């Protein structure tokens, strides 16, 4: 049986502990969240190359515990984040690899 697994090298460049990591529905983007109050959007690279951070999202006032991608049928890329600050933020990709708050 052939081994079709691939290795991804991730360096999310967070300053503190990473609490969650989620790959989007199509496997084209990865979101990570951390105690440093940020979310990082990464572009995974093939063949063992380092993933690239395309944007750092800032909007929480406490450690970010979890992230989750919406199904693509909801129109565009949407990402939810929740934090120790008791906020849930919905982020939307407004243009190619550019994100902004959609709902707070």
pLDDT digit string (tens) for the chain, length 104 residues: 565 566 666 777 899 999 999 999 999 999 999 999 999 999 988 777 788 999 999 999 999 999 999 999 987 899 999 999 999 999 999 999 899 999 99
CA gap 37, 73 in Å, rounded: 29
* Three-class SS state of 97: coil
Q: Is 1 in a helix, a strand, or coil?
A: coil
Under 8 Å between Cβ of 67 and 39: yes
Tokens of 82: 């929740």
């Amino acid at each position: 049986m052939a081994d079709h697994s691939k290795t991804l090298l991730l360096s999310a460049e967070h300053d503190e502990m990473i609490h969650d990591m989620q790959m989007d529905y199509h496997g084209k983007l990865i979101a990570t969240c951390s105690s440093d109050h940020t979310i990082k959007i990464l572009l995974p690279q093939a063949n063992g190359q380092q993933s690239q951070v395309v944007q750092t999202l800032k909007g929480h006032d406490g450690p970010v515990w979890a992230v989750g991608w919406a199904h693509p049928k909801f129109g565009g890329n949407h990402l939810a984040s929740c934090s120790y600050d008791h906020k849930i933020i919905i982020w939307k990709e407004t243009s190619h690899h550019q994100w902004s708050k959609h709902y707070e």
